[in-house]
Amino acid sequence: MLGQMLICPMLDDRNDSDSGHQMTGQGAWDRTANETGWNLYLGDIQRDEVPIYASPARADDLSGLPPTFIDVGSAETFRDENIAYASRIWACGGDAELHLWPGGVHGFDALAPDAALSHDARQARVRWLTRLLGTPID
């Protein structure tokens, strides 16, 4: 795999981050919606048996991952688990580029596609992909 681009990713089924608690009852994807999503995704899997390929935050070792791009809004449920994931990649010697978009809610770039923040986020993604693929931007 050449790289992975993770846009506001849902990484930790434990749903216990500070931002998850902070966003309870707030926004389109709050802690309750997140728990519902994980329950639907995991089905009958017991929470103490969740595989790392379903919930990457459970992995003990993140070394060997390809270059990773992560972006997340500062006002969303996934903020802290995304920051922790990038930090763990760095701690293992990996390559991660993290963007924390101020005031961004989950899916901000789709909810407000013409906002300056959405424009900046899309540009950052294109620049990262361009560097990864080694192709010039037209």
Domain boundaries, the chain: 4-133
- Which pLDDT score is estimated for 63? 95
Q: What is the DSSP secondary-structure string of 28-70?
A: SS-HHHHHHHHHHHHTT--GGG--TTT-GGG-S--TTPPPEEE
Q: What is the mean pLDDT of residues 8-13?
A: 97
Query: Hey, what amino acid is at 94?
Result: G
**Rounded mean pLDDT, 20-33:** 93
> Across residues 21-31, what is the average pLDDT?
92
In the CATH hierarchy, which fold is given to the domain comprising 4-133? Rossmann fold (3.40.50)
Mean model confidence pLDDT for the chain: 95
- Mean pLDDT computed over 7-31: 94
pLDDT of residue 138 exceeding 70: no
Token look-up 């037209």 returns 138
Average pLDDT of span 91-111 = 96
- Is the model's pLDDT at 136 over the cut of 70? no
Confidence (pTM) = 0.93
